[in-house]
Amino acid sequence: MEKNICYVNKIQSFLLNLKKYRNILKLYKKIIWVIIFLIFCFVMKKGVSFMPGDNTILLIDDNAINRKILAHILSPEYDTVEAENGIDALNILNSGTYHISGIILDLVMPKMNGFEFLDIVSKAEKFKNIPVIISTANDDEKNEIHALKLSAWDFVAKPYNPKIIKYRLKNAIERSQLSAFEQLKYMAEYDTLTGIYNRVRFNSAVHDMLMANSLKKFAMIHFDINRFKLINSFYGNDEGDKLLKWIGTKLKETFSDTELSVFGRIEGDVFAVCTLYRSRKSINSEIESLTYKIKSFATAFDIVLTYGIYVIEDNFELVDTFLDKASLASKSIKGDYVRFYEYYTPSMSLEIEKEQLITNAMSDALKNGQFVLYFQPKYNLLSNSPSGAEVLVRWKDPVKGIIPPSEFIPVFERNGFISKLDQYVWESACQYLRKWLDSGINPMPLSVNISRVDVYNPNLAKIIYDIVQKYNIPTSLFHLELTESAYTDNPQSIKLMLKELHSYGFLVMMDDFGSGYSSLNILKELPVDVLKIDLRFLSGEEIAGRGETIVAAIIRMAKLLKIPAIAEGVETKEQADFLLQIGCEFVQGYYFSRPISDTDYEKLLASVNNSQESRLYSTFDSRMIVNNAHIEKILCDSFQPICIFEYDGSNIDLLRVNSSFHKEFGFGDIQVYGNIIKNVKKEQIKSLLGFFDSVVKNRKCAEFKFSIANLRGDDIPIRMKLFYLHQSNTKHILLGLLSNITYMNEITEEIQKYKNELKKP
Amino acid sequence: MEDLIDRIKAAGCDVDGSMDRFLDDKNFYITCFKEVLKDPAFEQLGQAISAKQVKEAFDAAHTLKGIILNLGITPLYEIIVNIVEPLRAGSFENTDVYYQKLLDKRDSLKKLFE
């Protein structure tokens, strides 16, 4: 025990000394920089060049003798290169052959005179810092003034005075080098686009601030612009740059006058602020204020920022460490549509490490077939028979074993790899369907997932259709599941995409219905074909019974909307019983079957009797039948009341009626009728059901007379001609032509009375 | 060499005043002096005056003035200024007369080197 304490003390002492040494090292670094600067100044004073050919003077004069004299005057301190006119001089400058530290320029020259040359050079970024000394006649004041206006640095008069020429040249060169040094220094410390600190200067400023206030607490805030690359792509880099400059301006506005804060642009669209930490509330408030200001940038796109905050525990740690941790916090909420800032917790570091390992391995895994398809059957709750399956993907790493989707799917969605994986899954699913079809198995539909990243692809519908076509798979066997959160990202383009998918004949399910924040609005706006309800509603609820009530309401709503519903995540018998009770027909979950391998699914397929099993897609297709264009025409064009029924052997549900039906039986929601049996006289119910059974059995049109009550409660005698349309799972769709035979009955009664009268003696 | 320098001085040139800018390099001075007397600007000036081309004439005269000054060739300088100034003002007044004088003086200086 004592030994351990001794080791701990030694380590503590070492760490304390390490901090001390670090501080001393930093001081030495500063001293070294000062010495370098002093040497630089000394060297400049002495006129010593830094590079070979660094003291080359460009002599521009159309007269060779003048150039010769100047060259003679300037040697041995300077090398010279000569040009006869402005054009030749520009060629020499542009060639980059010489490192020109000064120019002596005559004004009167052919081809390009000195003024023209000066004008060009003073505006050229790479040349404007080269000092230009004008060589003039001694009575040429007017030209001297003009040249000075064009940014000439100085002038020398003819006849040449060697001492004056050399001094003026030396002074001009020194001034230009100092200016260049200052520029370099500025560029080394400041981001040239936004004018705020760059990463290097930010880091050192933060370090200085923390050292000077070592007992105070600080927070590092890291933020960036969501999907900045898309902004650049759609609106151009100029617009992107304007936004970055705007952010720099807003940072200055927000933090310049704040005591103890440093801000800067780290890279790309990433910015950081290190500021005094008083409380989470004050940091949150600063972030909200900054966000509000940034978002006031006038633009066609919505600016979304994500912030990560690290509350600094040890001011002596490296600034890069603070940035990394704040960055991890920011990454942890990427893609979250509610939270836009998050505080770092230690577990985030582990998550990012894991994510990196996944990212490193994903491409090879796809290439090497490590992603394997599994199938989770869906079941008809009434018949307890399978009705298709959802395709799921598992990662079978040869070393790590099975990696569950919850670990890699979010990573792939963040880095975009999900699109590749999804296409692989779609194609593999089609390959399975083709294989089963070719071997004579009548497969049930498979449903595949579309990630919310895929929906950004404007060609998605075509891509999926092409894959299905490639394997000659009927679209009715290939269902698509789209998670609700994908709708919230871009509802307009989703709408168009759904329209296109429907035009190809695909059935689209809304996955995880109810788990998002705008489910009902989405349902109102988008033509989804099936709802998949996540039974997480039933778990973890704070108010007992509320989850069940909501699920029951959703099932009822789905029935009213004629949208089939599947409850997924069914794990217990109690849940299954509850769902049966509330009329949910289709289920998926571990209670019925966990996801199974292709081999096991094929065995399941083989064991199912196709003619008797429930077909999930048939139920969904009945919706299409009910809304079919031909049916629509029949309903609209007929003056006779027409109904479309759904019959399951004991209930006759009204699906659709035409306006003539309303006129005949009263206006109102057809759901008021619901199961029409309740509106039929008790003594006629058995006969009516028998009539429906016979039409279903024989698939032939037949007539039947019965009475049905209208909304006022009056019994109306009806003659119905019933046509069989389609089987839908265990239900049958039939069309009925109704005739009100009240008048006919009255006439018949009267005729019978008359006949009876005639028979009387 | 010294003899030549004396003759140039005797012709009225400011050799001593120029030697500073030639860093007392008499050989270099002599070389440049000879080149000045052969400079094509003399002919260019004549052509431009004949063709009444003000800009070209002024440029040539201005060039000559500069090199003449640098070499301290005072006899030529005193003539050239009477050509440069009118041309600067856009006038050819007496330029042809002074031009001829310029050429005559140049030729006489050329003889110093024979």
pLDDT tens column, A245-270: 999 999 999 888 888 999 999 988 99
Question: CB A69 to CB B35 under 8 A?
Answer: no
Q: Which of A354, A489, A455, A339 is nearest to A411 (CA)?
A: A354
User: What pLDDT was estimated at residue A150?
Assistant: 79
**pLDDT band at A36, cuts 50/70/90?**
low
User: What pLDDT was estimated at residue A634?
Assistant: 66
Measured CA to CA in angstroms, residue A700 lies from A684, A718, A719, A721 at distances of 21, 19, 16, 10
Q: Which of A730, A443, A375, A373 is nearest to A588 (CA)?
A: A375
CA dihedral sign, ordered A247, A252, A254, A260:
positive
Interface predicted TM-score (ipTM) over 0.90: no
pLDDT tens column, A494-504: 888 888 998 88
Name the more confident of A657 and A465. Answer: A465
Q: What distance in Å separates residue A231's CA from the closest CA in chain B?
A: 57
Q: Which of A64, A110, A161 sits opposite B59 (nearest CB)?
A: A110
For chain A, state the CA radius of gyration. 42
Name the more confident of B108 and A648. Answer: B108
Residue of B nearest to A108 (CA): B59
pLDDT tens column, A412-428: 887 778 889 999 999 99
User: What pLDDT was estimated at residue A404?
Assistant: 86
- Superfamily, domain A56-189: Response regulator (3.40.50.2300)
CATH of domain B2-113: 1.20.120
Distance (Å, whole) CA A597 – CA A393:
10
Question: CB B28 to CB A106 under 8 A?
Answer: no
Sheet holding A731-740, edge to edge: A652-657, A642-647, A731-740, A715-728, A702-709
Sheet holding A56-60, edge to edge: A79-83, A56-60, A100-106, A132-137, A154-158
Question: CB B23 to CB A64 under 8 A?
Answer: no
The fold adopted by the segment(s) A628-746 is: Beta-Lactamase (3.30.450)
Chain B hits for A72, CB-CB cut-off 8 Å, are 22-23, 25, 28
User: What pLDDT was estimated at residue A26?
Assistant: 53
Interface test with B, best of A59, A60, A63, A107 (most B CBs within 10 A): A63
User: What pLDDT was estimated at residue A674?
Assistant: 60
**pLDDT band at A216, cuts 50/70/90?**
very high
Q: What distance in Å separates residue A175's CA from the closest CA in chain B?
A: 25
Interface test with A, best of B20, B21, B55 (most A CBs within 10 A): B21
Question: CB A66 to CB B72 under 8 A?
Answer: no
User: What pLDDT was estimated at residue A343?
Assistant: 96
Confidence check: pLDDT of A377 > 90: yes
Residue of A nearest to B64 (CA): A63
Confidence check: pLDDT of A472 > 70: yes
Chain B hits for A134, CB-CB cut-off 8 Å, are none
Asked if residue B102 lies in contact with residue B75, where contact means CB atoms within 8 angstroms, the answer is: no
User: What pLDDT was estimated at residue A712?
Assistant: 67
Distance (Å, whole) CA A483 – CA A453:
11
pLDDT tens column, A278-321: 999 999 999 999 999 998 887 767 788 999 999 999 999 889 88
**pLDDT band at A728, cuts 50/70/90?**
low
- Give one DSSP letter per residue of A632-662, joined into a string: HHHHHH-SS-EEEEEE-SS-EEEEEE-HHHH
Confidence check: pLDDT of A396 > 90: yes
Least confident range of A83-87, A171-175, A348-352, A679-683: A348-352
**pLDDT band at A51, cuts 50/70/90?**
very low
Residues facing residue A657 across a β-bridge: A643
Chain A hits for B25, CB-CB cut-off 8 Å, are 72
Interface test with A, best of B67, B80, B81, B85 (most A CBs within 10 A): B67
Question: CB A108 to CB B59 under 8 A?
Answer: yes
User: What pLDDT was estimated at residue A496?
Assistant: 84
This prediction has a pTM of 0.46
Chain B hits for A73, CB-CB cut-off 8 Å, are 21, 23
**Among all chains, which residue has been given the structure tokens 């399910």?**
A509
Mean pLDDT over A330-356 rounds to: 82
Residue of B nearest to A106 (CA): B63
Asked if residue B35 lies in contact with residue B47, where contact means CB atoms within 8 angstroms, the answer is: no
Question: CB A162 to CB B20 under 8 A?
Answer: yes
Residue of B nearest to A166 (CA): B21
Q: Count CB atoms within 10 A of the CB of residue A755.
A: 9
pLDDT tens column, A166-188: 999 988 888 887 777 777 777 77
Chain A contact residues (CB < 8 Å to B): 62-66, 68-69, 72-73, 106, 108-110, 137-138, 158-162
**Burial call B31-48: b when 16+ CB within 10 Å, e when fewer:** ebbeebbebebbebbbeb
Distance spanning both ends of chain A, measured CA to CA: 131
CATH of domain A199-345: 3.30.70.270
A726 CA to centre of own chain: 42
Residues of chain B with pLDDT under 50: none
Q: Half-sphere exposure of residue A447, counting CA atoms within 13 Å on the CB side?
A: 26
Residue of A nearest to B25 (CA): A72
Least confident range of A518-532, A665-679, A734-748: A665-679
User: What does the mean pLDDT of chain A come to?
Assistant: 81
Question: CB B66 to CB A106 under 8 A?
Answer: yes
Residue A1, judged by CB atoms within 10 A of its CB (0-12, 13-18, 19+), counts as exposed
Chain B contact residues (CB < 8 Å to A): 17-18, 20-23, 25, 28, 32, 35-36, 39, 41, 58-59, 62-63, 65-67, 69-72
Asked if residue B18 lies in contact with residue B33, where contact means CB atoms within 8 angstroms, the answer is: no
Least confident range of A1-5, A94-98, A525-529, A743-747: A1-5
Name the more confident of A487 and A203. Answer: A203
User: What pLDDT was estimated at residue A38?
Assistant: 56
Name the more confident of A517 and A715. Answer: A715
Confidence check: pLDDT of A100 > 60: yes
Q: What angle do CA A705, A710, A711 make, to 5 degrees?
A: 165
**Among all chains, which residue has been given the structure tokens 């912030």?**
A307
A357-619 to CATH, choices 3.20.20.450, 3.30.230.10, 3.40.50.10440, 3.30.930.10 = 3.20.20.450
Least confident range of A107-116, A561-570, A709-718, B89-98: A709-718
User: What pLDDT was estimated at residue A666?
Assistant: 61
Chain B hits for A109, CB-CB cut-off 8 Å, are 59
* Strands in A32-89 per DSSP E: 56-60, 79-83
Which two three-digit tokens encode residue A454? 């895929």
Question: CB B70 to CB A66 under 8 A?
Answer: yes
Asked if residue A115 lies in contact with residue A147, where contact means CB atoms within 8 angstroms, the answer is: yes
User: What pLDDT was estimated at residue A462?
Assistant: 93
Residue of B nearest to A159 (CA): B70
User: What pLDDT was estimated at residue A617?
Assistant: 39
Confidence check: pLDDT of A369 > 90: yes
Interface test with A, best of B27, B63, B76 (most A CBs within 10 A): B63
Chain B hits for A158, CB-CB cut-off 8 Å, are 65-66, 69-70
Q: What distance in Å separates residue A128's CA from the closest CA in chain B?
A: 27
User: What pLDDT was estimated at residue A206?
Assistant: 95
Kind and range of the H or E run holding A102? strand A100-106
pLDDT tens column, A122-166: 888 788 889 999 988 756 677 777 877 878 888 888 888 888 899
Distance (Å, whole) CA A586 – CA A382:
8
Confidence check: pLDDT of A14 > 70: no
**Domain definitions of chain A by residue range:** 1-44, 56-189, 199-345, 357-619, 628-746
Q: What distance in Å separates residue B97's CA from the closest CA in chain A?
A: 23
Q: What is the DSSP letter of A160?
A: P
